């Protein structure tokens, strides 16, 4: 029940109620309330209709409208996790921009893209107009199929073969910034904890890392690039592998593809008896407030995740409206380095 002006009523007012109160036909009320300019309506009736709508607290039933218009004004945000540092920021960008454009966001956590039932639910049941997908392998036949079937679908912080619409940040450049920072401190052997194997995000960060090292004459030790899976557990495993390298081949600094693996690796190093940061510098791609509160503070490259979320919504809605999907790289804001305690010049007695 909804209380209106002190009275209780059984169900929300419909446009028929508004029309009746304003003494016009529902179609007239509809025209006025939607502000259709092509048809002209006398100022007097318009006022009557607006007044009636206000009195009744009228709001168009989104289902009736959606049924008639064949669109939902909702999009879905699909992600494999909520807890990853950075997802908050992406999600906030998505929700802010969606709200500005009058869209709702349905957030769904899915283990993998192979969730046909989920796609069916969202798209075939016409619950949302399009999908923002924050996961997926480079080769992901399911996603490619859905995209090819004509479902508006944009990948976010990912590129997937066969999916035309994507929004990513400057991952290669961010990796380069991280390498340059370590080099400027005097590091000559640098390792890399990459992300989830099979994801292009990880691949692009790694290729940016390798290109920067090559350009700057940095040695990347054999087995000095290990997968960290964008996770705490992965970072731990990666650290173990790096520590297994003979001391004279071991990197003195590491670029981690993400903060979680960087944190876990740092912890592992310390537990193994290393003194950080002097014996091992660590810099992560993707920043977060919380990195100020770990010890040592984790040096990190901030990426435009919030903006990426915003742009992704914009792109998806464009696709929904019929634009041809295409890949997009968010370059504003540019990646920026925040130096904290985790990166220092290498201890020479170790690095020799």
Partner DNA sequence: TTGAAAGCGCTAACAC
Partner DNA sequence: GTGTTAGCGCTTTCAA
Return residues touching its own copies (CB under 8 A).
1-3, 8, 11-12, 57, 59-64, 66-67, 70, 72, 74, 82-83, 88-89, 91-92, 95-96, 99, 104-109, 120-121, 124-127, 148-151, 232, 263-264, 266-267, 289-290, 292-296
Q: Residue 42 interacts with DNA (CB under 7 A)?
A: yes
Q: In angstroms, what is the minimal distance from the CB of 66 to DNA?
A: 8
The β-bridge partners of 132 are 77, 154
Q: Binding DNA by CB under 7 A: which of 30, 88, 241, 314?
A: 30
Q: Which is nearer to its own copies, 173 or 230 (CB)?
A: 230
Between 222 and 293, name the residue whose CB sits nearer to its own copies. 293
Interface with DNA (CB under 7 A), residue from 41, 220, 276, 337: 41
- Residues in contact with 224: Cβ distance below 8 Å, sequence separation at least 6, in sequence order: 189, 190, 191, 192, 242, 245, 249, 251
Q: Which stretch binds DNA (CB under 7 A): 61-69, 189-197, 269-277, 301-309?
A: 61-69
- Structure-token pair, residue 312: 């992704």
Omega of the bond leading into 296 within 30 degrees of 0 (cis): yes
Separation CA 237–CA 234 (nearest Å): 5
| Cα–Cα distance measured from residue 269 to residue 279, given in angstroms and rounded to the nearest whole number | 9
Is residue 37 near DNA by the rule CB under 7 A? Answer: no
Beta carbon of residue 1, minimum distance to DNA (angstroms, whole number): 14
Beta-ladder partners of 337: 301
**Smallest distance from the beta carbon of 83 to its own copies, in angstroms?**
4
CB distance 178 to 184 below 8 Å = no
Given candidates 4, 9, 45, 338, which one binds DNA under the rule CB under 7 A? Answer: 45
What are the b/e assignments for 44-67, b being 16+ CB within 10 Å?
eebebbbebbeebebeeeeeeebe
Question: Residue 77 pairs with which residues in a beta bridge?
Answer: 107, 132
Measured from the CB atom, is 25 or 331 closer to DNA?
25
Kindly list the residues in this chain that would bind DNA in the complex (CB under 7 A): 11, 14-16, 23-28, 30-31, 33-34, 36, 39-42, 44-46, 58-61, 64-65, 67-70
């Amino acid at each position: 029940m909804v209380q209106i002006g002190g009275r209780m009523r059984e169900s929300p007012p419909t446009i028929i109620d508004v029309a009746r109160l304003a003494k016009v036909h529902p179609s007239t009320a509809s025209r006025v309330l939607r502000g259709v300019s092509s048809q002209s309506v006398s100022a007097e009736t318009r006022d009557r209709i607006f007044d009636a709508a206000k009195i009744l607290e009228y709001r168009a039933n989104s289902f009736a409208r959606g049924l008639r218009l064949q669109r939902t004004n909702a999009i879905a945000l699909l992600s494999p996790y909520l807890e990853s540092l950075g997802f908050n920021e992406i999600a906030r960008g998505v929700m802010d921009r969606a709200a500005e454009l009058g869209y709702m966001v349905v957030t769904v956590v899915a283990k993998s893209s192979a969730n046909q039932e989920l796609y069916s639910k969202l798209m075939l049941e016409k619950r949302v107009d399009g999908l923002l997908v924050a996961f997926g392998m480079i080769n992901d036949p399911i996603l490619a199929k859905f995209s090819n079937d004509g479902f508006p679908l944009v990948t976010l912080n990912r590129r997937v073969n066969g999916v035309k619409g994507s929004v990513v940040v400057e991952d290669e450049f961010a990796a380069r910034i991280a390498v340059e920072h370590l080099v400027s401190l005097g590091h000559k052997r640098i390792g890399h904890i990459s992300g989830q194997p099979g994801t292009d995000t990880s691949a692009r960060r790694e290729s940016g890392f390798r290109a920067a090292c090559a350009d700057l004459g940095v040695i990347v030790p054999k087995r000095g690039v290990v997968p960290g899976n964008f996770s705490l557990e992965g970072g731990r495993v990666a650290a173990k592998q790096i520590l297994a390298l003979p001391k004279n081949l071991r990197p003195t600094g590491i670029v981690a593809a993400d903060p979680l693996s960087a944190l876990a690796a740092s912890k592992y190093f310390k537990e193994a008896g290393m003194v950080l940061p002097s014996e091992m510098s660590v810099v992560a791609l993707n920043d977060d407030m919380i990195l100020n509160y770990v010890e040592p503070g984790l040096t990190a490259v901030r990426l435009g995740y919030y903006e990426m979320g915003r742009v992704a919504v914009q792109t998806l809605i464009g696709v929904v409206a019929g634009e041809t999907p295409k890949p997009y790289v968010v370059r504003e804001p540019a990646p920026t380095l925040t130096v904290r305690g985790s990166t220092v010049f290498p201890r020479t007695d170790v690095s020799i």
